[in-house]
Amino acid sequence: MKDYYKILGVEKTASKDDIKKKYRKLALKYHPDKSPPDKKEEYESKFKEIAEAYAVLSDEDKRRQYDNPHSDFAFGGFDNVGEFIRRTMGEDFFDGFGNGPFGRTNVRRDTQRNQRGRDIHASITIKFEDMVRGAKKTIAYDKPIICEGCDGNGYPKGSPPVTCDACGGSGQQVKMAGNIMISSTCISCGGHGKKISSRCSKCNGRGLVYEKSEVSVSIPPGIESNSVIRCSGAGGKGARANGDLYIKVRVMPHKNFVRLDGRQIGSVLEVNAIDAILGCKAETNTVYNRRMVNVPPGAQPGHKIYIEGDGIDGAAHVLEVRVKVPTLINKKQKELLEQFRREGDG
């Protein structure tokens, strides 16, 4: 999991105010407008990371969950990172941006009320064990809902957008530079030709409000990392139909277990050289339980031991024998081994 405190450069005990201050400072620093041309992507991803950290740490519920080492906290993702930043940094933060990833959402939303709700993209990270066994996870996210105060238009009912006076409604601004006429997109209205004269107070002109939502998803055993699960109708609310929620599932690597091709799980079993020669019983962990296995006499390095049923969907857990050579032996043991060597290979 990402260290959101580190990303924002604050202590774990930082107050809400401190977090907000740090976030605003960093957001200004990594404002996409300030990125050198060769660092555009770096700034953009840094910016998103800062926003994600702030989204979690500024929300008391989310922060508590995130701080709890026993919870399966997963960041629900942004429906629209630009919207989030506007909400937290103010409407003017992105003024003058085009249609880039942070660009202003279209001012003309007249058709929004007839539309299908937005699709939302979220992601969660699950433990390796949950990948093997399958799991049920609850995902919390902010669901965008078309604002009832303005039907999603962003302006109060009865005060429709007015013609932009900066461009006379053309959406283009024309400047003369000597004898050359330069035409560019109107900064004042973003090229729409119309401007909202007053914003809907309920949604602050965004046309959307956000509702805290939860969805419970079943993760099937053996899911591949970066698979996407679609929750039909769990996305933004729309008048005609709801959007869908797409959840990207990442699987955390495990310190001992790996997924082998297909549905088997693998791990290493370290065996002392003498035990490998003589054979022994050894204990090992699988995702499911602690198991006792027999190492046969004369087991070679790389020898495989199969524990049926402890992989994915009843497949095997495969142990690969690694032979450890003892480095400290006493005099008696040394004599015995010398004798063993004299006896030859039998």
Applying CB under 5 A, which residues contact Zn ion? Answer: 147, 149-150, 164, 166-167, 186, 188-189, 200, 202-203
Q: Is 203 or 271 the residue whose CB approaches Zn ion more closely?
A: 203
Q: Is 171 or 222 the residue whose CB approaches Zn ion more closely?
A: 171
Q: How far is the CB of 199 from Zn ion (least distance, A)?
A: 8
245-251 and 120-126 beta bridge pairing: parallel
Q: Is 168 or 262 the residue whose CB approaches Zn ion more closely?
A: 168
Q: Is 203 or 287 the residue whose CB approaches Zn ion more closely?
A: 203
Q: How far is the CB of 85 from Zn ion (least distance, A)?
A: 19
β partners of residue 335: none
Q: How far is the CB of 108 from Zn ion (least distance, A)?
A: 12
Backbone phi, then psi, for 66, in 5-degree steps? -65, -40
Q: Is 135 or 208 the residue whose CB approaches Zn ion more closely?
A: 208
Q: Is 169 or 221 the residue whose CB approaches Zn ion more closely?
A: 169
Task: Report d(CA 346, CA 344) in Å as an integer.
Answer: 5
E strand or H helix that includes residue 85? helix 81-89
Q: How far is the CB of 186 from Zn ion (least distance, A)?
A: 3
Q: How far is the CB of 254 from Zn ion (least distance, A)?
A: 47
* Three-state secondary-structure class, residue 275: helix
Backbone phi, then psi, for 280, in 5-degree steps? -165, 175
Nearest CA among 317, 325, 260 for reference residue 290: 317
Task: Report d(CA 237, CA 116) in Å as an integer.
Answer: 7
Q: Is 167 or 323 the residue whose CB approaches Zn ion more closely?
A: 167
Q: How far is the CB of 195 from Zn ion (least distance, A)?
A: 7
φ/ψ region of 283 (left if φ > 0, alpha if ψ in -120 to 50, else beta) reads beta
Buried b (16+ CB within 10 A) or exposed e, 198-211: ebbeebbbbbbbbe
Task: Give ∠ CA 102-105-110 in degrees, rounded to 5.
Answer: 175
Q: How far is the CB of 185 from Zn ion (least distance, A)?
A: 8
First to last CA, the chain: 55
